[in-house]
Amino acid sequence: MIFFEFYQFVVPKAVLEAKYAGGLQHFINDIPNGTYAENSNLASARFLKLDDINAFVELVAKKGLHFHRMEFYSDDFTVFTAVGPWWLSEWLSFNTILCLLKED
Predicted confidence at residue 82, as pLDDT, reads: 74
- What angle is formed at CA 17 by the lines to CA 15 and CA 23, rounded to 5 degrees? 125
Other Cβ atoms closer than 10 A to 69: 10
pLDDT in tens, 3-46: 556 899 999 999 999 999 999 999 999 999 999 999 999 999 99
With 60 as the cut, is the pLDDT of residue 102 above it?
yes
Helix (H) or strand (E) holding 85: strand 84-85
With 80 as the cut, is the pLDDT of residue 48 above it?
yes
With 80 as the cut, is the pLDDT of residue 62 above it?
yes
Q: Give the DSSP per-residue string, 6-54.
A: BEEEEEEHHHHHHHSTTHHHHHHHH-TTS--EE-SSEEEEEESSHHHHH
Predicted confidence at residue 90, as pLDDT, reads: 80
